[in-house]
């Protein structure tokens, strides 16, 4: 097991499987929110289901609409379990808080898109600023 330290995040403790990409993340432009998959053809995760997975991404992109969509996805049961970013923006942090979605960023150990692999089992403890990676 590997323990990664990050800035204290938001949301509750979550466990689940990682879905990783070094791409950036927009709930508005990258996802088919009805089908629960990454839909932008240029995205490295195109065709992959994000529902119930812990997304591990470089950074957030987009504005208020992307943040609002997190809330809509969570309300319909079509949201990721959590999102981990190398660096989030304040709008996505507000959106995750509004949605009740777990989110962490600013990891001390380096680029999380390199440290975590697809399918790794993660335990995310945002209050502690800690993510445990089990392979």
Q: What is the CATH number of the domain that holds 12?
A: 3.50.30.10
Span 37-64, pLDDT tens digits: 999 999 999 999 999 999 999 998 878 8
**Domain housing 53:** 2-133
Which two tokens mark 67? 């943040």
pLDDT at 37: 97
Distance CA 35, CA 24 (A): 20
- State the pLDDT at residue 67: 82
Q: Model pTM?
A: 0.94
Q: How far apart are CA 26 and CA 13, in angstroms?
A: 23
pLDDT exceeding 70 applies to what percent of the chain? 100
Over residues 62-82, the pLDDT tens digits come to: 788 888 899 999 999 999 999
Q: How far apart are CA 77 and CA 99, in angstroms?
A: 11
The total domain count for the chain is 1
């Amino acid at each position: 097991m590997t323990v990664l330290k990050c800035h204290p995040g938001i949301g509750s403790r979550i466990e689940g499987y990682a879905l990783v990409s070094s791409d950036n993340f927009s709930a508005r432009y990258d996802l088919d929110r009805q089908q629960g998959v990454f839909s932008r053809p240029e995205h490295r995760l195109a065709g992959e289901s994000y529902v119930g997975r812990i997304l591990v991404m470089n950074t957030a992109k987009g504005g208020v609409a992307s943040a609002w969509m997190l809330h809509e996805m969570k309300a319909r049961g079509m949201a990721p379990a959590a999102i981990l970013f190398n660096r989030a923006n304040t709008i996505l942090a507000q959106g995750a808080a509004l949605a009740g979605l777990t989110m962490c960023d600013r990891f001390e150990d380096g680029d999380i898109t390199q440290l975590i692999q697809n399918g790794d089992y993660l335990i995310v403890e945002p209050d502690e600023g800690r993510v445990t990676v089990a392979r």
